[in-house]
Structure 1
């Protein structure tokens, strides 16, 4: 284990209340120690690094100036909140980040009163902070809503919807725009900091308010001209015209790493009667740690790493990652078909679209954090004869469900959805789990929904989707590495709605959808050893179902079990509906469904998550034997042998 950094001042601060007792001249030392503690902690656990290092000074300044937790601080996405967690009573657990039973890698209401709103998806902070601000205003209680939102999150329309409604909050709402990538404003310096301090001061705002009241008494054309003159003058020196038009008083840009500039401006904002206010700070991802500053993308999310060298721990060699298998398969489809294009919403490397983009830069589109736009953009491309692949994580595709229904499914447009991170996702926990996509897609008319059992099947399904022009089609696959099967040189076009028998038996039938197939085969071995002849089928399609295969399995086996990495309402529910509609249950069929439990599971290692969910070989065997009224104790021992 790496040696812990020396943090004598930080050791005296466990809460923001203790932080606020420090003299201003000590804040620089505190921020430096906070940065070293963050680097050390993430080095031992892995997690998001660059984003947190970029807001060390900002985190310190916010908790120093504002009265948290009474002032409700909402971090957009929340992946930059590690310094915040250290300063809010959780330092003693900071080296449990993203581990089973440990701290979440995002903000989480159940963890601390300093996390008033849980977040892990982007662009929600302004809406939530507005809710806190208006609630306090209506109740006549003190407290503001403070939203810290990154420039990337400003690409989502929800942020602007909230800002358009923010005037109701008055000075109870403060939005801090953390500009660390898009370079909304030119580089900042002393003059910009001085101007920001002046225009946010009580004296300036007081004079401005007097002049504004006077201007309102002027004839309408003169009042409008005066208002425009004020906005133009400040816009010329400071920018922010867009935010002014949305009803915000704009302050900035400010160097987000200079506490001498940051503290006075935030104090002015705290004391202002003007509002709502947007403070524009410019920061640098990875600030203060050389390797992270030099490679912001590489150090955005990291494995465990050596703090001195920056070298990240490498996973042992193994099968390729599903996302890369998809990316490479899509390149081959793109070579064959010039109408194939790829779309992603700010996750090019996470979805494998970055590989396609290198091969076909004019046919790859990263639309930013804008999943709704991504889906309808794909629909427009499809309507004009292109063959779009819309590659989005399962958890993020939820944000565009209306577009999936209205713009794609109803119009029966052949958009191909590559759904990454399907199933449980390990350290990212409940907010990023792909638990619901089979349920919310397989209910839609016109949709085809596939789930890859392994990396070879993913290649076949990518090819099948590329050739499918009769309506929308989705292929889902998990996070992480494949199971180690050989990849096909020539992909097959799968027959829509047809599964396959992987292992033939007579007594027990296991109907698998997705990558639980490997566990189903392990369970079959144990059941065979107990004298229960077992069939294992990979259904491939959640919609349309292979009704003929399912009907045969349900009528020729004593027990049938479905298994999937999805919540209730998915594959198993559709099999049950088929069995009910055809009267198979009336004949005494013993059919059980295995799916994700009706809970939001916390982070842990994936294998532990699936064991907890009851979706491993051990639990398959227990389910079968319990159904057959066998001794479950004997089963557990046999399954683990």
Structure 2
């Protein structure tokens, strides 16, 4: 059966359609996304919510000449399908396939690469000003940003600047009251009041000198197209406020928007999630954090939890449910989260600030200036450290050891298992006088019986996991598991000693002296970039003390790692168990 979508290979094909054909195209586009994501997995609800907007934007504007920037990019699946990637959409987020986010190297229709929030307004404004400088005054620049992302400080910085320019910029607010978790904060309440017609104060966007329109129904194609056509002739910065439903078109995705943000595999017809066999497994590291902070906070009234918009992803949701006055979702605002924690620490509060490793990059100055320089005992819990899989280069947490290791006063710890994570969290709240960063991976750990009694960890100490007489392997964090298995499977396991160094800062110098005096070869392994990471710290130590022992560094190579399953990515760079076994065998 011929469908409208079958004949759409580029936006120019879309523009040949009659307006009355567009609702049918929207229906087919939704079904196409549902059918692929049901089996291949990925982000679902966000893209389903902007189908009509996506069609209207490409129908009205002359993309790619007119430039379309998607904030974060979770909602760009429809955009990808309409811009020549329909036949390869089934490879989305698969190794060697297309990215789950807009990416400049992938398509001329992806005007700006994204993956982190609140960047679209600044990027689109930069493009608009550049077009003015280049004399291209008829070119349009459109930023599509969600109500959660617009609460980020960078979005306001962009709006603040745009309001005093005459740039040809259109900001479209996709307002659905939810990002990954429900949106929070005073701006969210303001937008709710606007939608309900109860907002009496001056319009905040008009106050910033934007020509404001809305709110309008984001699922009414005729209304959206008419408004976009009108706005094409309006000069200067413009702001269109649309109301959408995340997950539109799939009942379960509309009703359970948190779970269906990225639901995994599900039945494309019924929408029901496909359950996995009920086999007892080790817990997710995020849940170990989430349950442990509740356990500790029950005993210590000074403990609070902070997350920038990731209560579900970080599992701080457990504390928010049991102790809502002591757990804070501050929205997509990593800089604020860090300095909020430092302010609390000055008053004797013990803040556990949980931020994904890749997102902590956005608060680097605050870590240095507001925490470490003042030596305030903030406890950073860095979830999603190391390779994270199908989200790809924008989300891998493979730089934190390098960008944190150079900061004075900051302790850095990487647990090899769930028990170590619990124990370092316990240790950190016992009156630690320095800030500490605890980094742990995405996904499940290795221990089913993980809820053991707490035990204090001595700061700056490593442990020997296995004896050996020729080679010493020094591992950090969850790389211990792959390396332990590789040693066991190697041709000469008795020749290899294995140490879990645990602390990247401070290093266990007494242990390192003994290792460098004893073994013929040292191997370091980490799931951080080799440049400036744990292995570099060991090399620096050896050079400082004039050791000549050869030291081989294993870790993330000096390139951006793309998307794919975590195991497949480890295999591609030689960090999986089998690759490590082969590597060890070449040395013995």
TM-score by length of 2: 0.94
2:492 corresponding residue in structure 1: 530
2:110 corresponding residue in structure 1: 115
2:267 corresponding residue in structure 1: 306
Point out where structure 1 has 5 or more consecutive residues left out of the alignment.
1-5, 193-234, 631-641
2:169 is the alignment partner of 1:173: yes
The Cα of 1:412 is off from its aligned counterpart by 0.1
1:151 corresponding residue in structure 2: 147
The Cα of 1:313 is off from its aligned counterpart by 2.7
SS at match of 1:281: strand
Which is richer in helix?
1
Task: Find the aligned partners of 1:351 and 1:244 in 2 and give their Cα distance.
Answer: 36
1:37-116 aligned within 5 A: 37-116=32-111
Cα offsets for 1:148-207 (capped at 9, x unmatched): 000000111101111111146525111101111047155869xx9xxxxxxxxxxxxxxx
Cα offsets for 1:67-86 (capped at 9, x unmatched): 11101100000010001111
1:474-553 aligned within 5 A: 474-527=437-490, 529-530=491-492, 533-553=495-515
SS at match of 1:41: helix
2:423 is the alignment partner of 1:465: no
Cα offsets for 1:411-451 (capped at 9, x unmatched): 00000000000000011111110001111112111011000
Pick the aligned partner of 1:364 from 316, 327, 337. Answer: 327
2:185 corresponding residue in structure 1: none
1:319-468 aligned within 5 A: 319-468=282-431
SS at match of 2:385: coil
Task: Find the aligned partners of 1:623 and 1:576 in 2 and give their Cα distance.
Answer: 20
Task: Find the aligned partners of 2:43 and 2:493 in 1 and give their Cα distance.
Answer: 49
Q: Greater shift after overlay, 496-505 or 602-611? A: 602-611
Cα offsets for 1:489-528 (capped at 9, x unmatched): 211110000011110111110000010111111222234x
Task: Find the aligned partners of 2:72 and 2:23 in 1 and give their Cα distance.
Answer: 26
SS at match of 1:165: helix
1:261 corresponding residue in structure 2: 223
Is the 1:561–1:624 contact (alpha carbons within 8 Å) kept by the matching residues of 2? no
2:561 is the alignment partner of 1:565: no
Q: Greater shift after overlay, 310-319 or 11-20? A: 310-319
Is the 1:188–1:255 contact (alpha carbons within 8 Å) kept by the matching residues of 2? no
2:580 is the alignment partner of 1:620: yes
Task: Find the aligned partners of 1:315 and 1:426 in 2 and give their Cα distance.
Answer: 19
Is the 1:353–1:364 contact (alpha carbons within 8 Å) kept by the matching residues of 2? yes
Task: Find the aligned partners of 1:45 and 1:56 in 2 and give their Cα distance.
Answer: 20
SS at match of 2:355: strand
Is the 1:46–1:304 contact (alpha carbons within 8 Å) kept by the matching residues of 2? yes
Point out where structure 2 has 5 or more consecutive residues left out of the alignment.
178-187
SS at match of 2:437: strand
Task: Find the aligned partners of 1:488 and 1:580 in 2 and give their Cα distance.
Answer: 41
> Rg larger in 1 or in 2?
1
Task: Find the aligned partners of 2:276 and 2:575 in 1 and give their Cα distance.
Answer: 25
Task: Find the aligned partners of 1:581 and 1:245 in 2 and give their Cα distance.
Answer: 58
The Cα of 1:530 is off from its aligned counterpart by 3.1
2:212 is the alignment partner of 1:250: yes
The Cα of 1:144 is off from its aligned counterpart by 1.6
Moved over 6 A (4+): none
Task: Find the aligned partners of 1:468 and 1:129 in 2 and give their Cα distance.
Answer: 46
SS at match of 1:111: coil
The Cα of 1:240 is off from its aligned counterpart by 6.8
Task: Find the aligned partners of 1:541 and 1:171 in 2 and give their Cα distance.
Answer: 50
Task: Find the aligned partners of 1:612 and 1:468 in 2 and give their Cα distance.
Answer: 43
2:180 corresponding residue in structure 1: none
The Cα of 1:112 is off from its aligned counterpart by 0.7
SS at match of 2:98: coil
Is the 1:456–1:485 contact (alpha carbons within 8 Å) kept by the matching residues of 2? no
Task: Find the aligned partners of 1:443 and 1:493 in 2 and give their Cα distance.
Answer: 26
Task: Find the aligned partners of 1:7 and 1:93 in 2 and give their Cα distance.
Answer: 19
